[in-house]
Chains A and B, each alone.
Chain A
Amino acid sequence: MVVAAMAKPEREEIIALVGNPNSGKTSIFNDLTGARQHVGNWPGVTVEKKEGKLIYQGETYNIVDLPGTYSLGAYSEDELIARNFILFDKPEAVINVVDASNLERNLYLTIQLLEMGANIVVALNMVDEARARKIEINIPRLAQALGVPVVPTVATRSEGIKELVAMAASKARETPPQPLLMNYGPEIEAEINKLEQIIKFDPNLSAKYPARWLAIKLLEDDARLQTELQQSGARQVLEQAAKSNKHLGAVLGEEVEAIIADRRYGFINGLVREAVTRRQTLEERLTVSDKIDSIVTNRYLGLPIFILAMRAVFQFTFKLGEPMIGGVETAFAGLTGLVTGWLAALGAPGLLTSFIADGIIGGLGSVLVFIPPIFLLFLAISLLEDSGYMARAAYIMDRLMHTLGLHGKSFVPLLIGFGCNVPGIMATRTLESRKDRMITILINPLMSCTARLPVYVLFTGAFFTANQGWVIFSLYLLGIVLAIIMGKIFKTFLFKGETAPFVMELPPYRVPTLKGTLIHMWERGSSFVRKAGTVIVAAVVLIWVLSNLPLGVEYASQESLIGRLGTILAPIFKPAGFGTWQAAVALLFGILAKEVVVGTLGVLYGVEESGLTAAIAQSWTPLSAYAFMVMTLIYIPCVAAIGAIRRETNSWGWTAFAVGYSLVLGWVMAVLVFQAGKLLGLG
């Protein structure tokens, strides 16, 4: 007995959470795990992996939040991850979150889970909403028909969670049930049988997959499983599957997969008819959501309302964020003073003081000032998302974006990019198709973020005082036009193939909960701080070292390594009209954060920021200034954005590509502007 117990490897019991998007899965996850959660990526892919701990009756359970999916096919990365987790990681129990007011579609996933033989508990969520819509669900009967426990919950108010936990914990101790046997009719069943026999005969296959499930999936023509089987050399099964499919197609007159889906929905309809009663007339079904939608998605009103909403988001973010930015700046200045004084008192060498004050604190400070606006922006976006409005925004924008060959859903991340590219890049997570996501990430840095604005203000202040607004606007517009062009190019050459067809759920409008919104904001914001932080520190250290070597030179002077580097690089920018070492160094420092360009020029010209306009006016021309602004707009995203690209694409290759293409594009555009301007006699 003891030996047997010891031989069994100890592992924390896993409870997986599965459910449709918008079913309230995230709220349940938050209820179950509280603050004991962390976010990572699934190995090798960019899909978010959320895990948390649940402690119940002295036992610790590992709760894994699987990506929200409508199905367990292998249509998207999300679905594949969810499916493979259940197949191969074999969680002890699975909580299937189901939206009570949208049972038919939600149960489609439940049926698939049951067919896989997963050990499930159904969390019938949002029962309050269903009740309000006069949808009455006979829970014992539903549980009986499904053959699994069903626990009613209202996750946003933590109702039913205790019962859910108790049920899941007791389920986790039970052996998994037999997979649900759906009857697909004599013809299909006969072929399933044939396939099952072959699968059971192959020890490798039957150890890996439930035999009947695999047989059905093969008849459904699941391309991913076909490849998996091909790789493991199970040729016999594949041959039989192809034969069966052909045979069934001929006998039944249509594709097997359609019939299988029909059967499943037929089963669900019967089930719902038995367990659900509705006492609602058509008029009553014209819900509040529909009434709001008739205004918000209106042909003429939709776009203006959307623009107003976005303006409100930006007002909120930057009006509220500005004083906070000031606060952070003051705090960092104070910290620098404090640390410098303290180090001086300790008699630390000047180099160390400079390293800590100029390098670490100064460098980190210049990026960390973005924390307030980033958190505020995410707060506003989480609010819009949780209320259900963002789905409408995507609908409205799809009409416009479609003509540009982009997805409607790509618009929101691009728009956010005007505030800051980092959350813009992170917001691409809402895109389902990897291609759309990659394109949107790659063109996002072309959206002129607020950090570029100080550069524009400086240069237009020196040369274009009469029409400053128009000049700045032209730069924003240039960014948008280039984004469209580059998007088309990337789509044509790098991410070929058709776009995923546009179909998305419009969730009912809901009042967002404070807890949910804050958790969303925190997840996104803190991951910026963590991930960008590591990249930033590395860059800061590198730039500081370059500014101080060789030993004894004046910090960031032409004799320092960075000054020499600037001198070497300067000729490259000669065709663009700003071939001075100061400009090159400013651009180099600008990679740290684009507004640093201004500060750097201040240091290099040896003037305060107030005298900088005059200094600029002396050594630049209007044309070279404009070319320089174009360069600042386009070339290399700042380190924080580079960090975000690295994190979201999960690839150094694409990160390098983003840096490389923008550098080339920036240079080409700057040269183009300068040379064309000279030809026109503007120089």
Chain B
Amino acid sequence: MSSGLLPLEFLDIGREAVIREVAGGLSLRRRLTDLGLVRGTTIRVIRNDNFGPVIVSLGNSSGGGRLAIGRGMAHKIMVEEAG
């Protein structure tokens, strides 16, 4: 059993995960909060090419938001893989 926390950066395409922690400064966290990337949010990786921003789909139920997240930022978002 691993602790299961890993940076969003390393999540493969198609995987779902829950955000557990944002390891960043106040302004970074605030920015993410405004966009709906808070603890407990479920995200699904739409695109991750191991370079450039990661694209995620947001929310466990809504079909809505797609966000492109810079790699540096994706490195600081700690997630727990679902399922």
Contact = CB atoms under 8 A, between A and B. Distances in A.
Contacts of B31: 75, 501, 503
A75 B27 contact: yes
Contact of B53 (A75, A265, A278, A398): A398
Residue of A285, A294, A502 with most partner-chain B CB within 10 A: A502
Residue of B27, B36, B69, B72 with most partner-chain A CB within 10 A: B36
Given A70-B34, A75-B34, A297-B47, A398 B64 contact: no
B15 interface: no
Interface in A244-287: 255, 257-258, 261-262, 265, 272, 278, 280, 285, 287
A255 B26 contact: yes
Given A105-B35, A293-B47, A395-B55, A221 B26 contact: yes
A82 to B, nearest CB: 12
B63 A285 contact: yes
A541 interface: no
A70 B30 CA distance: 11
B30 A257 contact: yes
A505 interface: yes
A299 B49 contact: yes
Interface stretch (A96-104, A329-337, A456-464, A603-611): A96-104
A622 to B, nearest CB: 43
B69 to A, nearest CB: 5
Contact of B64 (A99, A221, A258, A504): A99
A255 B32 CA distance: 15
Contact of B62 (A135, A258, A261): A135
B40 A265 contact: yes
Contacts of A70: 34-35
A399 to B, nearest CB: 3
A491 B26 CA distance: 23
A210 interface: no
A280 B61 CA distance: 9
B62 A101 contact: yes
Interface string A121-138: 000000000000101000
Residue of B36, B40, B64 with most partner-chain A CB within 10 A: B64
A504 B68 contact: yes
A533 interface: no
A503 B64 contact: no
B36 A105 contact: yes
A262 B47 contact: no
Contacts of B55: 293, 297, 395, 506
A73 B63 CA distance: 26
Contact of A102 (B26, B49, B51, B62): B62
Contact of A505 (B28, B49, B66): B66
A505 B68 CA distance: 6
Contacts of B65: 102, 105, 505
B10 to A, nearest CB: 17
Given A105-B64, A135-B63, A502 B70 contact: yes
A402 interface: yes
A104 B26 contact: no
B6 interface: no
A74 B28 CA distance: 13
Nearest to A107: B36
A508 interface: yes
A503 B32 contact: yes
A402 B46 CA distance: 21
Nearest to A112: B34
Interface residues of A, number: 47
Interface in B1-57: 26-36, 38-41, 46-47, 49, 51-53, 55, 57
A503 B70 contact: yes
Contacts of B32: 503
A71 interface: yes
A293 B68 CA distance: 12
Contacts of A257: 26, 29-30
B41 to A, nearest CB: 8
A593 to B, nearest CB: 38
B78 interface: no
Contact of B52 (A71, A262, A399): A399
B68 to A, nearest CB: 5
A104 B68 contact: no
A430 interface: no
B55 to A, nearest CB: 7
A103 B60 CA distance: 12
B21 to A, nearest CB: 10
B42 to A, nearest CB: 11
A654 interface: no
B69 A503 contact: yes
A289 interface: yes
A12 interface: no
A108 interface: yes
Contacts of A262: 38-40
A163 interface: no
A287 B67 CA distance: 15
A290 interface: yes
Given A105-B36, A221-B26, A265-B40, A502 B73 contact: yes
Nearest to B32: A503
B79 interface: no
A3 B25 CA distance: 56
B68 A503 contact: yes
B71 to A, nearest CB: 8
A508 B27 contact: no
B66 A75 contact: no
A395 B53 contact: yes
A399 B64 CA distance: 25
Given A75-B31, A105-B36, A399-B52, A506 B26 contact: no
30 contacts: A70-B35, A71-B33, A73-B34, A75-B27, A75-B34, A102-B62, A104-B59, A104-B62, A105-B36, A105-B59, A108-B33, A221-B26, A257-B26, A257-B29, A258-B33, A261-B38, A272-B61, A278-B61, A297-B55, A391-B68, A395-B55, A398-B52, A398-B53, A399-B52, A402-B52, A408-B53, A502-B68, A503-B68, A506-B66, A506-B67
Closest 8 CB pairs of A and B: A102-B64, A502-B70, A399-B52, A105-B36, A71-B34, A506-B66, A70-B34, A261-B33
Interface of B: 26-36, 38-41, 46-47, 49, 51-53, 55, 57-59, 61-70, 72-73
Interface of A: 70-71, 73, 75, 99, 101-105, 108, 133, 135, 221, 255, 257-258, 261-262, 265, 272, 278, 280, 285, 287, 289-290, 293-294, 297, 299, 391, 394-396, 398-399, 402, 408, 501-508
Given A104-B64, A289-B66, 6 more contacts: A261-B38, A395-B52, A395-B55, A402-B70, A503-B31, A506-B67
